[in-house]
A and B are shown apart, each in its own frame.
Chain A
Amino acid sequence: MLLFKGPRDQFLSPLQAVCGIVEKRHTLPILSNVLVEKNGERLTLLATDIEIQITTHAPTMGDDHIAMTVGARKLQDILRSLPESAEVTLSLDDKRLQLKAGKSRFNLQTLPPDDFPRMAVSDGNPTQLRLTQNCMKRLLALVQYSMAQQDIRYYLNGLLLVVKGNEIRVVATDGHRLAYASEILPDTPAPIEVIIPRKTIIELSRQLNDTDEPLEISLAPTQARFNFGTIELVSKLIEGKFPDYERVIPQHHAKIIKLNRDSFVRSLQRAAILTNEKFRGVRIVLGEGSLKIISSNAEQEEAQEELEVEYSGDTLDVGFNVTYLLDVLNNVSNETIELHLADANSSALFVLPGNDTFKYVVMPMRI
């Protein structure tokens, strides 16, 4: 029974689109498989790790219905190692998948499609959002590096997505720093707040492209669905209460300086070389007309960088983890950034001049 016949990439591209989420090791063996379903001229590929499910389509020919599941990694590895120009034939014979290309032959075992777990569509009336792929991709890039990783506060291992009025907000924090970004929506959907798991966000941001092609998001209390291009990504949500992000975004930090992002990054990178590898702390010393970055390590080696800034006020000496500073500076693209400071025990706020759609708060380190 013929499943697919055509150029290699016509099958490999959709396969790679769904297989990024397949876990290497899983308690359920079938989850390392991908579901391939042929319905007439439409080929559907589906992969899942129970938490996330990705579906996509590819064209094929014929009018029969065939379905099976096969090892995702092996199939990908075989296709990838074939020449790019190869014509590939996939067919199902006696519950085994035959793959032919030129003089190569592969015979793979399959598992029945009925055993493959699929996520049920959440009932109820979901909140529907419409925005462009590049808009969402940009929003995610602005905050996703601040998500916690395997934190015991499980609700931090994801991204808070808020729909409020005609605004979409995304927030991520690991308890030490917090990134916030917002965007105006073309319409005003029903308000909702959900926490989307880390793995979903990373996968989504990998798959979205830089075009203004549409992205549809539908948010139900326990499930999020993302439709873009030929891809549908469905994800479970993290239950729990995300911390009150508005509370920790400072409003009244009085020491405000503008910095050239590029020079600031380069100075921080140089100073970082002589920080203690474990703590990665740098001192930021703000004085009349100058901002110094000072670091030292366990061997008593020292680095000092100085940037000219427009500032006249009290001197401030405050420590930060240099990684947290570089993270934000490497993920925004503006030429100039604004840094708001108060005292050695208070957070620092990074904003983009003349723009309140992005905020990054980082707590100091005691050095």
Chain B
Amino acid sequence: MEPSRRIAHLDMDAFYASVELLRYPELKGQAVVVGGRGSQAPVLQADGAHVFARLRDYVGRGVLTTSTYEARALGVFSGMGTMKAARLAPDAVILPVDFESYRHYSQRFKAAVAAIAPAIEDRGIDEIYIDLSTIQEDSLTLAKRIKAAVWEATGLTCSIGITPNKLLSKISSDLEKPDGITILDWQDIPARIWPLPAKKINGIGPKAAEKLAALGIGTIGELADTAPEVLQQHFGYNFAAWLHDAAHGIDTRPVATHSEPKSISRETTFDRDLHAKQDKSSLSEIFTSLCTHVSQDLKRQGYQGRTIGIKLRYDDFQTVTRDYGLPRPTDNPALIRKAAGECLKRVALEKRIRLLGVRIGNLSQAGVPELTDEHCQTELPF
């Protein structure tokens, strides 16, 4: 049995949509989706009211970033093609994505939690794990206090799951959404966890779930009842062992309060597919701006990278990547652009391009000189 820990998973409720509702409170209670472009920005009237774009007027090929609970009730979920969403909920309001604001609120809610419980693992813009093991307070009081602090700092609600590990907490935070608190211990697993579908376990994706279903395993309980030897006949040894542990609520992963990014990247899907020759200037402009953004991300996070990569998706969804190694780490946008340009020379450019991405990897912290021959060897003074 693992030593007794108390881990929380905190998930912001419909985060992007909720941030938008802070700005446009008049939309509360309506079906709202986020995923538009700048052209879908609300227009401010002389009387101070906003005129909002509606899904039915949407033409394009974006996907939804998120939707309010009211929109979800109409069958519209994040990741859905916007045109498809428009057929399901033509009257829903569509708002453009505004990552700057989301990042701002993300920082605020994390800072508020950190003031109460500093052992935080950042899991992205709208969720965190918190290690509460060393705090004396009882779980319910603590959960209420954290939720209140988040509300105080942002005006937004969140859902919290508190259990002995990350796996169970991740499942639990979803059980009472939105604005919920779920506190589980080992003895609650059969009643609260086992009836859930197996795909609720973070790590069992659609493919594994389908394979399990074919074996007659639908719920986590059924998975827990399946002998590891049986699972090993259908899955890899390690995955089978993990499935068995997970179904029994076993997870020893620590809360990783400090993590180094492996790479930093930016990518964009074009409004329409672009051609390397006919759309040379706009492609080049987008390419440069991706490199500039990657450079800004590096500088903000204090990293430099040595491996520049590009990602290209063609109109037939074939995706190719190419890498270029630099002699030394950089965060310079011009050098990144040049290296990315070298990568671009090595891909076929006959087909139209749907998506372009720039990534920088092999990261090191800026300002920490790496002891290589490049640093000892001096340069010719050209």
Contact = CB atoms under 8 A, between A and B. Distances in A.
A367 interface: yes
Contacts of B348: 27
A16 to B, nearest CB: 27
A347 B380 contact: yes
Contact of B373 (A244, A247, A279): A279
Contacts of A244: 382
Interface in A229-288: 243-244, 247-248, 278-281
B380 A173 contact: yes
Nearest first, the 4 closest Cβ-Cβ pairs linking A and B are A243-B382, A363-B378, A248-B380, A365-B376
Contacts of B342: 152, 154
B34 interface: no
8 contacts: A27-B346, A152-B339, A176-B378, A247-B381, A278-B373, A363-B380, A364-B378, A367-B376
A249 to B, nearest CB: 10
Contacts of B377: 176, 321, 363, 365
A247 B382 contact: yes
A152 B347 CA distance: 18
Contacts of B382: 175, 243-244, 247-248
Interface in B325-347: 325-327, 335, 338-339, 342, 346-347
B373 A151 contact: no
B327 A176 contact: no
Contact of A175 (B338, B346, B380): B380
A151 B377 CA distance: 16
A129 interface: no
A278 B373 CA distance: 7
B376 A248 contact: no
Contacts, number: 55
Interface residues of A, number: 28
B370 to A, nearest CB: 11
A152 B327 contact: yes
Contacts of B325: 150
Contacts of B380: 173, 175-178, 243, 248, 347, 361, 363
Nearest to B336: A152
A243 B335 CA distance: 17
Contacts of B347: 27
Contact of B372 (A173, A278, A319): A278
Contacts of A177: 380
Interface of B: 325-327, 335, 338-339, 342, 346-348, 372-373, 376-382
A357 interface: no
A366 interface: yes
Give the dominant DSSP class at A's interface: loop
Contacts of A152: 326-327, 335, 338-339, 342
A345 interface: yes
Nearest to B341: A154
Nearest to B381: A248
B378 A321 contact: no
Contact of B327 (A151, A247, A345, A361): A151
Contact of A363 (B326, B327, B338, B379): B379
Interface string A338-367: 000000010100000000000001011111
Interface in A143-193: 150-152, 154, 173, 175-178
A173 B379 CA distance: 11
Contacts of B326: 152
B333 to A, nearest CB: 13
Contacts of A281: 376
A366 B339 contact: no
A238 B373 CA distance: 28
A112 B346 CA distance: 25
Contact of B376 (A151, A178, A366): A366
A173 B339 CA distance: 20
A173 B326 CA distance: 17
A347 B378 CA distance: 9
Contacts of B338: 152, 154
Given A152-B326, A248-B382, A279 B339 contact: no
Nearest to B374: A176
B80 to A, nearest CB: 36
B274 to A, nearest CB: 19
Contacts of A175: 379-380, 382
Most A CB within 10 A of own CB, among B326, B339, B378: B378
A321 B377 CA distance: 8
Nearest to B348: A27
B153 to A, nearest CB: 44
